[in-house]
A and B are shown apart, each in its own frame.
Chain A
Amino acid sequence: MPTSPADVLTRRVLPRAVVALSQVGLPSRLGAATRRLAGRQGRVELFFAFDDPCSAVAVIDLVARVARRKVELDLKPVVRRGIADDPAVELKRRHAIVDARRVGRRTDLVLSREEPLTADATAFLAAWAARAPRGPARTGFCVRALRRLWLGSDGPVDPGDYAAIWREQVGGEPPAADGDDGVRRNERLMRRRGPYDTPAAWVHGQWFFAHDRLVQIGDRLDDLGWTVSP
């Protein structure tokens, strides 16, 4: 069967071009160097979901992984994500529990939950976290809430438990959960960046499924010059 020009383009030329372009590293390295000269930190945007156990593993690990680098971990909670009309969405939610347990075991994180959570059950946490000030307060709240949710509890989610964490990490009473503009903004940004599911880390022009590529995210930061401080 002869190969048509359209076939050559879609099967051969375009995939090859995508791979080749992904190997162009000079612009991002120059950008990182310029950023450092300007006295700015590196930045990892981590799109995550509270109902996703793999997000829990990724957030907890990455907070530790970037701690000794001049890098800000910008936690961006989302609720709506995934492939539209995905027939395997329920299977994937169940598999995420097995997979997070497996990946967590590598760093001694032990999942306490056996059953998946719905996005609705934890949407209030995303709304709160999106309203927390960016930086240590938001990071502290997200880490403790994810630990409580996935490593320290089972069964229904009680907002009261998380309000206590909010008071300790952020201060004051948690905001009303109905204002979720920040979450929607994060979801739009995530789609613009390219990722379609969580946890997804955007590291200066490249994105990674974060729980799968924790070591590689560190390698990417090393490559950009944001190495671990002694």
Chain B
Amino acid sequence: MTPTRLDFFFSFRSPYSYLAAPRAFALPTRFDVAVRFRGVIPMAMRGQSVPRAKGLHTLRDVKREAVRLGMPFGRIHDPIGAGALRCLLVAQHAVDVGREREFVLAAGRGIWAEAVDVAADKGLRAICERAGLSWGDCATALEDPAVRARVDADTAALEELGHWGVPVLVFEHELFWGQDRIEDLEAALREAGLERSPTAAQAT
């Protein structure tokens, strides 16, 4: 039987997306679901203003949450602009070769915990190679208008769902916004009878 699809809307400029990613990609190990990665252009690059108070609070709150989740956070290189877009383009290529999980996790760690400048070839290349991607193929994706069109389509899909921010996970038309709503999604998946038996989960 085909697993139920979960759409995972993600931004490389969103530290909350970074916090959500490991748990989002781990959902298929415990539930009969397939996670479909959908990278979106950051809010601030879509003409939506982010006030200073929100920016400051986000950094402080994400640090507290990262400590709680045991994730590194703090050595940051804000990727807004070319960096975020280049990651989105490479992520589409990573989807094509089945390595989106590896790339998204590596890029998130690079941006939010290792201060990697993903706008520069040196930084992005190191992350691509860490994720098991060929730099030559990634460089081709960076220049491919069809890949850019897919990024725009994923961004538009989030807006069509009537939502504005990320991370968002969508399960059967129900949106779960925020890294702190994954537990509610898990409850919904359990209620829907999609939790794997312990033996099946171990085998995954």
Q: Which single residue of chain A is at the shortest CB-CB distance from B187? A: A105
B82 pairs with A1, CB closer than 8 A: yes
A194 pairs with B51, CB closer than 8 A: no
Q: Shortest Cβ distance from A209 into chain B, in angstroms?
A: 8
> Which of B75, B82, B164, B181 sits near A16, CB closer than 8 Å?
B75
A216 pairs with B60, CB closer than 8 A: no
Contact A16 B78, CB 8 Å, known A196-B53, A212-B180:
no
A3 pairs with B57, CB closer than 8 A: no
Cβ-based interface call for A15 (8 A): yes
Cβ-based interface call for B22 (8 A): no
Cβ-based interface call for A84 (8 A): yes
Cβ-based interface call for B150 (8 A): no
Q: Shortest Cβ distance from A84 into chain B, in angstroms?
A: 7
Q: Shortest Cβ distance from B202 into chain A, in angstroms?
A: 28
| Chain B residues, Cβ within 8 Å of A229 | none
Q: Which single residue of chain B is at the shortest CB-CB distance from A2? A: B120
| Chain B residues, Cβ within 8 Å of A36 | none
Contact A1 B76, CB 8 Å, known A91-B164, A212-B180:
no
Contact A85 B73, CB 8 Å, known A15-B59, A18-B56:
no
Cβ-based interface call for B77 (8 A): yes
> Which of B57, B175, B187 sits near A207, CB closer than 8 Å?
B57
Q: Which single residue of chain B is at the shortest CB-CB distance from A87? A: B48
A11 pairs with B78, CB closer than 8 A: yes
Cβ-based interface call for B3 (8 A): no
A103 CA to B187 CA, complexed, in Å: 12
Q: Shortest Cβ distance from B120 into chain A, in angstroms?
A: 7
CB 8 Å contact bits of A68-112 with B (1 = contact, 0 = none):
000000000000000111011001100100110011011000000
B57 pairs with A99, CB closer than 8 A: no
| Chain B residues, Cβ within 8 Å of A22 | 59-60, 63-64
Q: Which single residue of chain A is at the shortest CB-CB distance from B165? A: A88
Number of interface residues of A (CB under 8 A): 36
Cβ-based interface call for A19 (8 A): yes
| Chain A residues, Cβ within 8 Å of B60 | 18-19, 22, 206
A1 pairs with B119, CB closer than 8 A: yes
Q: Which single residue of chain B is at the shortest CB-CB distance from A12? A: B77
| Chain B residues, Cβ within 8 Å of A10 | 78
Cβ-based interface call for B74 (8 A): yes
CB 8 Å contact bits of A209-230 with B (1 = contact, 0 = none):
1001100100000000000000
> Which of B78, B117, B163 sits near A91, CB closer than 8 Å?
B163
Q: Shortest Cβ distance from B79 into chain A, in angstroms?
A: 8
> Which of A1, A194, A212, A216 sits near B178, CB closer than 8 Å?
A212
* Closest A-B pairs by Cβ, 6 of them: A88-B164, A11-B78, A22-B60, A15-B76, A19-B74, A18-B59
Contacts A12-B78, A91-B162 known; 9 new A-B pairs at CB < 8 A: A1-B82, A16-B115, A18-B59, A19-B60, A22-B63, A83-B54, A87-B164, A208-B61, A209-B61
